Chain A
């Protein structure tokens, strides 16, 4: 197909041609970035927790006032919870993944360091790792005799120094000692130090307030919580049993202490869903806007295409009378659209990279992968061709006899 006549025609319709090009360019730029944002959000929602995701439930309970017998209360509560049929493990912990309350501290690798190395979260709770169902990749979990009461060490520096061991995640180990075995190494918290005795494959920190890069920087301490300093009970059961266990656990806790308020009771799946709700709705919204954008652009092409066909009816008739086939006319409009789309896409790619740069600076987004551009181009070409097909077919249907009539 000869494109020279098409170009000369377009030169005479600069404004309309420019409008189509601009619309395609903007659509290309926005859709590429929006799809990239969607894929980022979907990727984030797959973030590994490192725990037995479908087997855990959490019940949060608050008591009235100060408790004298908090340690005994906690022991009793856990014994009651373990008696619930279907419960395979239970723990009273200070924090739970996919919630927004977290205990964090900054750590050093050398006590003489002036500034801390990084900030990591602190998980406390007897039997926490076994209940959470983390996967041990090196070393061991805590022995029963290693646990100390958090209530006792809290205000006692001497006892704090005796907390000797800690289990960390692979992610944290890799960050602190890249390529080396973390077992036996020391981490300094304030004036005291702890030695790494075990490494788990993963354990996500609650409330990713320091950004996603530090999501796996978690430390687990051999500390026992009581009802005076922790409120979250975590239970493990078969996935199908969870709803029943949840109800039974809340009832058991209330029965053990009627002056107690159940603040929250959810499966870990529900907590996870809530935690990523913002990402899900953002992805949904982006998707909606993308579809609407493509539809609007396609309708715009249909509208302008129809206008052009109507405007050139006479010319088309003359061409047909001079021997052009229906196919020639059809191809003419298709090629014209392809040309405009190509210019628009080229412009759109530059714009897409520009928008991506802006997002990288202001929203900490990664660079747009290069493969988005050919895919985006293909989609817009297809949409352009689909949109122009109707008007082009109408153009092809113009009979040669039009040439002899005055319109």
Chain B
């Protein structure tokens, strides 16, 4: 039966090419713009580390002195060095790392200076964020404590400096200092780069990783947001009143997360008793998706574009409803004949919906082409996320599901009206 309806639908669509083209075009335009913006949303709001995003937590606390503390302010994202080191020493989480971004100039084998982005962190960073090693291994926790002059470099930098060969044991020259390479990262990129959203939310991972203790020892330059209260001649000093270190903890089970929250509360209470401040203090954990949400990784413009596109799709659908209604009712006579020959109302309804569905599938296919074009335009925008916007299989399927669903939705009312055409009246007026 379905085959017959399909045949009828195709015949009917062929009969009035202009009207058909109008409907397909309307659906295609609506689907094309919607899918372009939805794909951008999908990429921006995606889970960068599926399977682990609920176990990784950003640790935040508010330990401002009384004269800088404002009730109702947001909890600062970063920690002071004093607090970060206290938490690291306690080691209450499964894994934990304090970190900061930075930049350094390394000298290539040919003597050319090369500016590279760096991350100063701890040994736990690599297993915590599932960073695979191509050669060698990450440094050990003892290296953090011993301020070892070691580094892990990215695959890309290894390619640039050593032509892709196993460079473990080689030396990385940084100004008048040198670091021993202990590991080369494999293919690893986190987009959005959730572990540090302050230096570009999308992009390649850093090229050089150095223990935080070593970086502080060598006074390597850091970047990212630092905010201080009181006089802070050296914001990186161990007791500086500055918040600048990012802190992540891995807590494998909800029970562990609850216990860690309690630990943080106790820590804050201890600080209060110690006389650092008299207010209640704040401490909290945010898992990866909560963290991304709190930092507003999806730009307001993209949300606005999505609303606009969905509104556009709505108007295109209204348009399709009108045109389908026109088309079906124009065929009242034909429908009357079919009803008179014994077709049930249900049969007419299904036949009309099949025709709407065919329009939807055609609109979806054409809309997919428009969305592909739209995504090319998005990639050519100088946004940091542009390069990562691609349509995956799920969005491809979603395109056809959306197209089919919306055309069927648009077809409901016209099909309902067509099904109620009275055969006698239709035949008489013929």
A259 (CB) vs chain B CBs: closest residue: B113
A23 contacts across to B, CB distance below 8 A: 315, 318-319, 322
Considering the complex, which residues of chain A in the window 134-148 have a beta carbon less than 8 Å from any beta carbon of chain B? Answer: none
Q: Is the interface of B mostly helix, strand, loop or mixed?
A: helix
Q: Is A303 in contact with B231, judged by CB distance below 8 angstroms?
A: no
A66-B219 in contact given A15-B413, A15-B417, A30-B312 (Cβ < 8 Å): yes
Nearest CB of chain B from residue A360's CB, rounded to whole Å: 13
Q: Are A299 and B381 touching (Cβ within 8 A)?
A: no
B311: chain A residues within 8 A (beta carbon): 26, 30
The digit string for B377-417, where 1 denotes a CB below 8 A from any CB of A, is 00001110000000000000000000000000000010001
**Extra 12 A-B pairs, beta carbons < 8 Å, given A30-B315, A285-B305, A300-B322:** A30-B308, A30-B311, A30-B312, A37-B304, A65-B105, A190-B231, A278-B381, A296-B29, A297-B315, A303-B326, A307-B329, A363-B300
Q: Which residue of B lies closest to A314 (CB)?
A: B429
23 contacts between A and B (CB under 8 A): A15-B417, A26-B311, A26-B318, A30-B312, A62-B115, A63-B105, A64-B107, A65-B175, A65-B176, A155-B234, A261-B115, A274-B382, A277-B382, A282-B305, A296-B26, A296-B319, A297-B319, A299-B22, A300-B22, A303-B19, A303-B319, A303-B322, A363-B300
Asked if B330 contacts A19 (CB within 8 A), the reply is: no
- For chain B, residues 69 to 96, give those with C-beta under 8 angstroms from any C-beta of chain A: 70
Cα distance A191–B232 in the bound complex, in angstroms: 13
Which residue of chain A has its CB nearest to the CB of B300?
A: A363
Contact digits for A155-169, partner B, Cβ 8 Å, 1 yes 0 no: 101000000000000
A292 to B31, CA, bound (A): 13
- Taken residue by residue from 269 to 287, chain A's Cβ proximity to chain B (1 for < 8 Å, 0 otherwise) reads as 0000010011001100110
B63 within 8 A of A: no
Residue ID in chain A nearest B33 by CB atoms:
A289
CB distance from A239 to the nearest CB of B (A): 24
CA distance A225 to B19 in the complex (A): 70
Do the beta carbons of A293 and B312 come within 8 Å of each other?
A: yes
Closest-CB distance, B316 to chain A (whole angstroms):
6
Q: Which of B26, B33, B325 contacts A19 (CB 8 A)?
A: B325
Q: Is the CB of A303 within 8 A of B176?
A: no
Beta-carbon contacts under 8 Å, B218-233 to A: 219, 231, 233
Counting CB contacts under 8 A, is A117 at the interface? Answer: no
Q: Is A52 an interface residue, CB under 8 A from the partner?
A: no
CB distance from B25 to the nearest CB of A (A): 8
B67 at the interface (CB under 8 A from A): yes
**Quick one: which of A16, A64, A274, A281 contacts B105, CB cutoff 8 A?**
A64
Closest CB-CB distance, B66 to chain A, in whole Å? 10
A260 contact set on B, CB distance < 8 A = 113
Q: Looking at the complex, which one of B300, B322, B383 makes contact with A304 (CB distance below 8 Å)?
A: B322
In the complex, are the beta carbons of A27 and B315 less than 8 A apart? yes
Measured CA separation A286–B25 after assembly (Å): 19
Task: Name the distance in Å between A64's Cβ and chain B's nearest Cβ.
Answer: 4
Chain A residue at smallest Cβ distance from B106: A64
Interface check B142, CB cutoff 8 A: no
Contact (A296, B115) CB under 8 Å given A15-B325, A65-B175, A261-B105:
no
Which of B33, B318, B413 is most buried by chain A, counting CB atoms within 10 A of its CB? B318
Q: Let me know if B323 is at the binding interface, CB within 8 A.
A: yes
Residues in B164-186 with C-beta less than 8 Å from chain A: 174-177
Q: For residue A345, give the distance in angstroms from its CB to the closest CB of chain B.
A: 15
Are B219 and A303 in touch, CB under 8 angstroms? no
Task: Compute how far the CA of A293 lies from the CA of B177 in the bound complex, rounded to whole angstroms.
Answer: 62
Q: Are B322 and A19 in contact, with the CB atoms below 8 A?
A: yes
**Residues of A close to B322: CB separation below 8 A:** 16, 19-20, 23, 300, 303-304
The residues of B that contact A15 with a CB separation of less than 8 Å are: 325, 413, 417
- Tell whether A263 is near chain B: CB-to-CB under 8 Å: yes
Q: Is B371 an interface residue (CB 8 A)?
A: no
B314 contacts the other chain (CB 8 A): yes
Q: Are B70 and A307 touching (Cβ within 8 A)? A: no
Task: Kindly state the separation between the CA atoms of A359 and B113 in the bound complex, as whole angstroms.
Answer: 49
Q: How would residues 324 to 349 of chain B score, 1 for a CB under 8 Å from any chain A CB and 0 otherwise?
A: 01110110000000000000000000
Q: Give chain A residues whose Cβ lies under 8 Å from the Cβ of B309.
A: 289
* Distance in angstroms between the alpha carbons of A47 and B35 in the assembled complex: 33
Whether A34 sits at the interface, judged by CB under 8 Å, is yes
Q: Select which of A157, A278, A306 is within 8 A of B301 by beta carbon.
A: A278
Given the complex of chains A and B, what is the CA–CA distance between A286 and B308 in angstroms?
8
Contact residue among B114, B174, B300, B323 (Cβ-Cβ distance under 8 Å from A65) = B174
Of chain B, the residue at the smallest CB distance from A261 is B115
Sort A-B residue pairs by CB-CB distance and give the 4 closest, nearest first.
Answer: A65-B175, A307-B326, A300-B319, A155-B233
Chain B contacts of A63 at CB under 8 A? 105
